[in-house]
Amino acid sequence: MTFRWQDHIVRDPEICGGLPTMKGTRVLLRQVLADVANGTTATDIISAYPSPRPDHIKAAIAFAANSAKDDLPVLDKPAA
């Protein structure tokens, strides 16, 4: 079975004002992505919040990869 990030990230207007969260939690997707970007390990992220699971971290990274693939332009190499 293929991993689907969509099964682990939700938007519900009744939870955190409709911002994307990890399913079954109030942990914001953007916070998990910021933690990953800052070098926080999945183990430390899971320890820092009360309810995320390893699949939540995997889903956040998959979401970011999918978003970058679809929406972000490839940046040119800066001139030296």
| CATH code of the domain covering residue 65 | 1.10.10.10
Does the residue 80 lie in any domain? no
Q: Cα 62–65–71 angle (5° rounding)?
A: 135
The pair of three-digit structure tokens given for residue 50, joined into one six-digit string: 């009360």
pTM of this structure: 0.80
4-49, pLDDT tens digit by residue? 999 999 999 999 999 999 999 999 999 999 999 999 999 999 999 8
On whether residue 76 sits in a domain, the answer given is no
| Burial grade of 22 (CB within 10 A; 0-12, 13-18, 19 or more) | buried
Tally of domains in the chain? 1
